[in-house]
Amino acid sequence: MNIILTGETASGKTTACLKLAALLKGHNITTGGIICENDRIKDLAGASRKFYFPAGTAGTVSVGRYHIKQSALAFGSRAIESACKGARVIFIDEFGRLEYNKEGFYRAVTGALATGRSLVVVRKSILAPFRLLFPQYRFATFTLTPANRNSIHEEIFARV
């Protein structure tokens, strides 16, 4: 079953993903996909790339105040696609405006969802539109709050 981790902006969703990935690894459960932390995109297979760049940088796509290199999007898409080939949990941190507009990691995300093994981070503000894009899939949804931010990774682990 696919999993959604949602919460407000800067609530700790990425931190919860990092804790969950470590917990899964400690139980010999294979993970893959991407986690975006600060200005870097990390492939859980090991490599990372700078993700956000100053306005006017060549080869970037603008999303609000962010400017994302096309090469970083390609890197992230490849990481998700690679994870689809064997990871038990495929992390996608996060599904944002680009993907909602069927750009960015969208194609890789659709492949990951089709496996039924993805954990997708979706900001609360685009959760309803996300569900409308993918009505064919069932999701277990976990909402990060101040009360559960230190334990939500364990709650999700119990469902994997």
- pLDDT confidence band for 38 (50 / 70 / 90): confident
- Cβ atoms of residues 71 and 79 within 8 Å: no
CA angle centred on 82, ends 81 and 87, rounded to 5° = 105
Task: Give pLDDT tens digits for 45-64.
Answer: 888 777 777 777 888 888 87
Which pLDDT does position 37 carry in this prediction? 87
Question: Which residue(s) pair with 89 in the sheet?
Answer: 31
Domains and CATH numbers, the chain: 2-37+81-159 (3.40.50.300)
